[in-house]
Amino acid sequence: MFNKLFPNVELQDMITATNETLYMTIISVLGTLFLGIILGLLLFLSRPGGLWENKFLNWVTAAFVNVFRAIPFIILILLLFPFTDFLMGTIRGPKAALPALIIGAAPFYGRLVEIALREVDKGVVEAAKSMGAKNSTIIFKVLLKESMPALVSGLTVTAIALIGYTAVAGVIGAGGLGDFAYFYGFQRSDFDVVFVCTVLIVLIVFIFQFIGDILTRSLDKR
Amino acid sequence: MISIKELTKVFHTKDQDVTAVDHLDLNIQSGEIYGVIGYSGAGKSTFIRLLNRLEDPTSGSVTIDKQEITSMNKNDLRLARQEIGMIFQHFNLLWSRTVKDNIAFPLEIAKMPKEKREARVKELVELVGLKGRENAYPSQLSGGQKQRVGIARALANKPKVLLCDEATSALDPETTDSILDLLVDINEKLGLTIILITHEMHVIRKICHRVAVMENGKVVEQGDVLDVFLHPKRPVTKKFVDQVMGDPDQDHSLDLIHENYKSGKVLRLHFVGESTNQALISELSREFKIDLNILHGKITQTQKGAYGTLFVHVEGDQDEIERAQAYIQDTSVEVEVIPNVQ
């Protein structure tokens, strides 16, 4: 039945491609989380009236974020080739896609982090100050903790965008479902392969969204 | 205990400078409940934030328990703040933490070890009457309960001073009273000095020992609550006093009194402090051959005794009435004859 409907689909290839997509997504989500939180904190803390008010730092961070968000992802990959080569020692395969994925997504997530932090009640920060809290305590125990649901739902949105990016990265030979759909499906005119790859990507997106929603809900005690 | 000298805060905005607190001098005794009252924009919110330097003053000094807050470096200030509790109008609890963990937060900041922390939290939960709600999240609590958590949190590190920033302004009257009772209770039990700012004279009347009235960044009047109630000097103070007392002189019922009582005398009795505890009216009717009829009035309780005005109609022999008046004058009650239409 399956073979009749999808004559060109090899199960083993599909599993490999799915694993590559999952690998790229998960590692880049982790990288984006780390870099995005740092960018978001820098944006939030250095703004006027912030804990580390600093015009220069704020300008530099905002410029970095805005520039990298403005570059279309496909061009960013090409632009980063030398950097990727230097960092990873290769420009092909799932590993080589990671720098571009993270640098492409982190500024986006950074903005979401900034928005989430801005939503934290100023009064709570003031209360922590009145108790004699250090800035580091305010950052880790108040700001990040109180904005957790927004940080998680923001990360879910970013992760889903990243799944899309991994498919784009496939076009330059990063591996994964996008790569497979293009080279083994589209170019050979085996549209059943394209179809199965699409279904698998949609499935992955749904799973990420589902996990994100559950986490957000369980963290939100408001 | 707390001395404030020449304290000034100027906010610079684009088009102008706003002086929120203007060369303010104030001395607050250890163990007293000191109220600062003023309308919004009077500078009281800025004033209380200057005390623990949530706002940095433009000039002037604040000294709490011999430590000059205004000259401290960041680290000393952090340690000093651990000994100054603060509660807020909107409670400012961490919604991601349970009641228990909210109260434990200042203890974590002060680096108290975990076992000690748990014992202290338990004490505090009992002190503010929240037993059984330890594991609830703030969103599951009523406004009054949230403020109780705020109070427990502010008391966690055994502060010397408690600052209350409009602590009851977001609560309904009944809850306000229960929170005020709790503050008085804490003040008496722990000997804690409390400074509160409010725009409600009711709060001042109910729990404060002394009061300062703020207007345009300055203290325009201050003193014992009872004195201020009795002899408000400034128009703004008078308005606040009228907030709780009503203005008896302008009450329209006075006209009715004059219409209805054509004979005898109408007296106005002014009660201040102790005398309210004496049974003055029943003494008068026992000692003198007069008939007393209470017409109108209001007596209210402050931390330093009762205060209020009572209008009574007296009927009887002219001499007897005058002797009764003399008798009243010997007590601490002030008496005044309201001109009667004969």
Interface test with A, best of B11, B92, B165 (most A CBs within 10 A): B92
Q: Choosing among B96, B103, B111, B149, which should be mutated to test the A contact, i.e. which has the most A CBs within 10 A?
A: B96
Between chains, do B81 and A131 touch, taking CB under 8 Å as contact? yes
What are the tens digits of pLDDT across the range B272-291?
766 555 678 888 888 888 88
Counting residues of chain B whose pLDDT is more than 90, the rounded percentage is: 58
Looking at the structure, tell me whether residues B240 and B252 fall in a common domain: no
Helices (H), A47-80: 55-70, 73-79
Mean pLDDT of chain B: 88
Asked if A141 lies within 8 A of B105 by C-beta distance, the reply is yes
Is the same domain home to B257 and B180? no
Mapping DSSP onto H, E and C, the string for B166-235 reads CCCCCCCHHHHHHHHHHHHHHHHHHCCEEEEEECCHHHHHHHCCEEEEEECCEEEEEEEHHHHHHCCCCH
Position A135 confidence tier, pLDDT thresholds 50, 70, 90: very high
Q: How far apart are CA B153 and CA B141, in angstroms?
A: 15
Domain final residue pick, B174, B209, B244: B244
User: Closest Cα of chain A to B162: distance in Å?
Assistant: 11
- Return the CATH number at B293: 3.30.70.260
**Under an 8 Å CB criterion, which residues of B touch A?**
52, 54, 77-82, 84, 86, 88, 90, 92-97, 105-106, 108-110, 137-139, 153, 157, 163
Query: Could you give the percent of chain B with pLDDT greater than 70?
Result: 93
Both B65 and B154 in a single domain?
yes
Burial class (CB within 10 angstroms; exposed 0-12, middle 13-18, buried 19+) of B254: middle
CATH at B110: 3.40.50.300
The β-bridge relationship of strands B265-273 and B305-316 is: antiparallel
Residue B216 shares a structural domain with residue B308: no
| Chain B residues whose beta carbon lies within 8 Å of the beta carbon of residue A129 | 54, 81
d(CA A212, CA A204): 12
Do B70 and B195 reside in the same domain of the chain? Answer: yes
Tens digit of pLDDT for each residue in A40-58?
999 999 999 888 999 999 9
How confident is the model over A80-116, as pLDDT tens digits? 989 988 988 888 888 889 999 999 999 999 999 999 9
Count of pairs with CB atoms under 8 A, one residue in A, one in B: 67
pLDDT at B308: 79
DSSP code of residue B157: T
- How far is residue B198's CA from residue B37's CA, in Å, rounded to a whole number? 5
The pLDDT confidence band at residue A8, using thresholds 50, 70 and 90, is confident
Nearest-angstrom CA–CA distance, B252 and B272:
24
Chain B residues with CB inside 8 Å of A128's CB? 105, 109
CB atoms under 10 Å from CB of B21, counted, come to 29
Same domain, yes or no, for B32 and B175? yes
Residues B298 and B169 in one domain: no
pLDDT exceeds 70 at position B253: no
Whether residues B35 and B162 share a domain: the answer is: yes
Residues B60 and B168 in one domain: yes
Partner residues linked to B286 by β-bridges? none
Domains of chain A, earliest start first: 12-219 (1.10.3720.10)
Range of the domain at B264: 248-338
Distance separating alpha carbons of residues B120 and B129, to the nearest angstrom: 14
Domain boundary among B244, B262, B295: B244
B14 and B157 together in one domain: yes
Task: Quote the tokens at residue A176.
Answer: 């994964």
The pLDDT of residue B340 is 54
Task: Please indicate, yes or no, whether residues B204 and B128 belong to a single structural domain of this protein.
Answer: yes
Residue B51 has pLDDT above 80, yes or no: yes
Test B92 with A142 for CB contact under 8 angstroms.
no
Mark whether B19 and B138 lie in a shared domain: yes
Among A205-209, B74-78, B324-328, the minimum mean pLDDT is found in: B324-328
| Residue B265 pLDDT greater than 70, yes or no | yes
The span from the CA of A200 to the CA of B43, in Å, is: 63
Each residue of B310-335: pLDDT tens digit? 888 888 888 888 888 888 888 878 78
Q: Is B31 left (phi over 0), alpha (psi -120 to 50) or beta?
A: left
Cα dihedral B127, B130, B135, B136 in deg (nearest 10): -140
pLDDT of residue B291: 86
Last residue of one domain, picked from the residues B202, B227, B244: B244
Question: Could you give the residue ranges of the DSSP H alpha helices within chain B?
Answer: 44-51, 74-81, 99-109, 114-127, 143-155, 173-190, 201-207, 225-230, 235-245, 253-260, 280-287, 318-330
Confidence of residue B309 (pLDDT cuts 50, 70, 90): confident
Question: Which of B109, B139, B153, B166 is best to mutate for the A interface (most A CBs within 10 A)?
Answer: B109
Comparing CB atoms, the residue among B78, B88, B109 nearest residue A123 is B88
Amino acid B166: pLDDT: 92
Total number of domains constituting chain B: 2
Rounded-to-integer distance, Cα A159 and Cα A29, Å: 6
The lowest-confidence range among A103-117, A201-215, B111-125, B243-257 is B243-257
pLDDT at res. A104: 94
Q: What is the pLDDT of residue B231?
A: 82
- pLDDT for B342 equals 39
pLDDT for B341: 46
